[in-house]
Amino acid sequence: MKEGKTIEFKEDISNSFLKTVSAYANYGTGTILFGINDNGIVVGIENPDQKCLDIENKINDCITPKPDFSLSINRKTRVISLIVNEGSDKPYLYKGKAYKRNDTSTTEIDRLALNRLTLLGTGKYYDQLPSGKSSFSFSVLEQELKDKLGIKAISSDILKTLSLYSDQDGYNHAAELVADTNEYPGIDVARFGSSINEIMDREQYVNVSILSQYHSVVDLYKKYYQYEKIAGIERKRMQIVPEMAFREAVANAIVHRTWDVLANIRIAMYSDRIEIMSPGGLPFGISEIDFRQGYVSVLRNPILAGLFFRLSYIEMFGTGVKRIFEEYKNYSTKPRFEITENAVVVILPSIEYLTATTSDEEKIIEVLKGGKLRSSSEIAMLT
């Protein structure tokens, strides 16, 4: 047995274990074993029954609110086991501070993480919180609703139905994000040549509706990753990266990112792939295994997700990863995901057809092998 994220050894009983109690109650159930030293050697605890009472009293006196925990004694080894369950009344504080377990260490969290814990404890989401502003214009949203849902004009009732406004709290953060202008970060797009030192194009879409941002990056995608192929009298639209996979990845980056950090979504366009980085890592309660298998049932911004669902930019909640893989099912190349605590990166490779390529397709592939990302018009001229 070794120390790790969910298990900690304590040779004796001191107040330092209370930091780990806070960490487990805040971020996930874990066990503290008293009577085992840092090398994993069992040394036991003298008078374990009394020590159990001491541990219980320390937790009750020093952790606010009181977490759910249980104590047991191994009579043979005199090791005390303290199991602390993750709680719902976050944040759990020790001396006014909240803690998090990082591998084998326990560290104090910063103010941003504390704010997020507090939000979790209230059962609310960031996009539901009041924006504090009293006036927005929604011409972009109005046009979207007209085109997609046949709604002629936005009214207060429509905004309430979309959960963007309430009589009690006014507009929320979701309303501000879909408004024509806002003060939030946006999307930063860079198109690279043969190396990352060769920037062929750079676009930033910030301080505008997230709906405008979405359409702008899709238009940029079409410029560089789609082209027309003429076969006889027919024109066929071809794609270098599957459009629906790109749309899904961008929509999910917008809907599932953390909006309380001042970081843009970053899209890097290369000749052989597109990388989409969404700030914030995975939503609380979702493991990397769950994410990769497509089991994402926790929404970080449910109002935004609901709006994008109504507008058909995403399908059923939690199916984005599966949809992206579905778009690659007929190709030899497959998408990849890189997940860290602070970001999720979706890598969409250029597609390689499993069927034999035609001479025209071979020419296009040769053009792209040069390393430079070219527009559809440039591809047409060179082939």
**pTM above the 0.85 mark?**
no
Q: DSSP E strands: which ranges in the chain?
A: 7-10, 30-34, 63-64, 69-74, 79-84, 93-94, 99-102, 105-108, 165-166, 170-171, 187-192, 199-205, 226-231, 234-239, 265-269, 273-279, 336-339, 343-349
Task: Give 23's contacts (C-beta < 8 A, 6+ positions apart).
Answer: 30, 99, 100, 101, 106
Q: Give the pLDDT score at 210.
A: 98
One DSSP character per residue, 221-255 reads HHHHHEEEEEETTEEEEEESS-HHHHHHHHHHHHH
Q: Give the pLDDT score at 1.
A: 79
Give tens-digit pLDDT for 251-310.
Answer: 999 999 999 999 999 999 999 999 999 999 888 878 888 787 776 667 899 999 999 999
Going along the chain from its start, the domains and CATH numbers come out as 7-122 (3.30.950.30), 187-382 (3.30.565.60)
Q: Give the pLDDT score at 380.
A: 58
* Regions of the chain short of the pLDDT cut 50: 355-358
Q: Give the pLDDT score at 357.
A: 47
Q: Phi and psi of 221, rounded to 5°?
A: -55, -50
Give tens-digit pLDDT for 156-187.
Answer: 999 999 999 999 999 999 999 999 999 999 99
Q: Give the pLDDT score at 356.
A: 41
